[in-house]
Amino acid sequence: MQNLSCFKAYDIRGRVGVDLDPAIATRIGRAFCQVLSARRVVVGRDCRESSTPLAEALIEGLLASGVEVLDIGLAGTEEMYHATHHLAADGGIEVTASHNPIDYNGMKLVGANATPIDPEKTLGVMRKLAESGDFSAPVSGGVRRDASAVRAAYVQTVVSFVETEALRPLTILVNAGNGVAGPAFDAVAAALQARGAPLRFVRMHHDPDGTFPNGIPNPLLPENQPITADAVRAHGADMGVAWDGDFDRCFFFDAAGRFVDGEYILGLLAAAFLEKHPGEQIVHDPRVVLNTLDVVARGGGRAVLSATGHVFIKQKMRETGAIYGGEMSAHHYFRDFAYCDSGMIPWLLVAELMGRTGASLADLVAERRARFPSSGEINFRLSDPTAAMAAVRAAYAPEALTVEDMDGMSLTFADWRFNLRASNTEPVVRLNVEAKGDAARVAEGVAGVRAVLARFAAG
């Protein structure tokens, strides 16, 4: 029995050669097919140097299970999602470590119709089977097919989300971070050009390169944002877009190079959908909510709260039939994209919104920032996160209007709110504070919670 620590809560991740290697990848392929009774499986991979050998070993395990492997090659995670749904496969696997360090790799897995894999009932069973190696006897008849042409269908799905005639001339700087966004973006850009879209693009760090010569693509980290911001200003772009390694998340910069926090993009997209589809439901996570709740109410929609994480957001969207779901971490989910997240659709929708309103991205979010300022996520490394959380609850709960325990704890007061949650993997708690029209109140809230947490600071 081999302990496979690369199995995490929702996916597979680990250090190459330590937690994950080709032999383990083959086991994962065998376990995936046996647990799901899969006969057709989509496989894609990112551009990391370890992704090709891991994908080949994974496919070896799939073929030994007698399945038809639909190999889409170098592709983003959302291309795997789309191909799994579009090709009516029984499941899909993307070999990727997204924004993790360069010595890591992993896999993202879905079932038929690109549905999430249940963490306990399914992924846990796969882990036990992969660890034991108690597989069914190898089956002949496995076949591998080149399915890379499915990108054309993916592109048509992506561009169907916008009305080309609503677009106005814009210069958009795009930073692929040397991940796999570049080729997919080029295909989308070509389709837009063929439709007469008046968009001009400036590309940077565009070619996939698994050595990541410009650093690991993770634009959510503040230290990684200046390179895109500077380029936006240097090229006089109307907007900047940057992706993580497997481009299931995209991040926005206005014309001044200012980073636009995810909760405001969530609000923009919710408003755009509700303008076209009044009364629809919008799913959101509990970390930062005031702007979203206000936007959805103004748009005549219904806000639906979900636990953080793609498995929970997708499940809630499928349960409710919600047209759109979003997280402040820049994951955006779409009903007409098999309820999956995409990093390519959001920037198109924002460009369309800029065209419809004639407003800049800065103008679109300025009012929302003023009405509902937020702190951004602040991390605290602590000696005892559980005790620290209890201390914060004891200090603030007596005065709170509501206390909710979805994803840590969310405490709401008359004019402000905060969410505090512990990391699942390290001794860290994450704080988000927001307020109604009062940035000073946000600062006061951060200072107050910080003072309580300081008693538990790690040495």
Token couple for 298: 């103004």
Helix, coil or strand: residue 65: coil
Quote the CA–CA distance of 179 and 224 in Å, as a whole number.
14
* Vertex 399 angle, CA 398 and 400, to 5°: 100
Instruction: Give the Cβ contact number of residue 423 at 10 Å.
Output: 14
Quote the CA–CA distance of 51 and 179 in Å, as a whole number.
12
CA neighbor of 242 nearest in space, from 343, 355, 341: 343
Distances (CA, A) of 187 to 18, 153, 166, 194: 36, 11, 20, 11
Longest alpha-carbon distance in the chain: 67
Quote the CA–CA distance of 265 and 268 in Å, as a whole number.
5
CA neighbor of 41 nearest in space, from 105, 106, 117, 102: 117
Quote the CA–CA distance of 139 and 162 in Å, as a whole number.
45
Quote the CA–CA distance of 351 and 241 in Å, as a whole number.
11
Task: Name the residue with tokens 């499928």.
Answer: 318
> Catalytic: 160?
no
> Within 91-180, where are the H helices?
124-132, 151-159
Quote the CA–CA distance of 69 and 32 in Å, as a whole number.
13
Task: Name the residue with tokens 């979010």.
Answer: 365
CA neighbor of 91 nearest in space, from 43, 58, 45, 28: 43
In this structure, the strands spanning 91-95 and 40-45 are parallel
Q: Which of 65, 98, 306, 375 is catalytic?
A: 98
Catalytic amino acids? Answer: 98
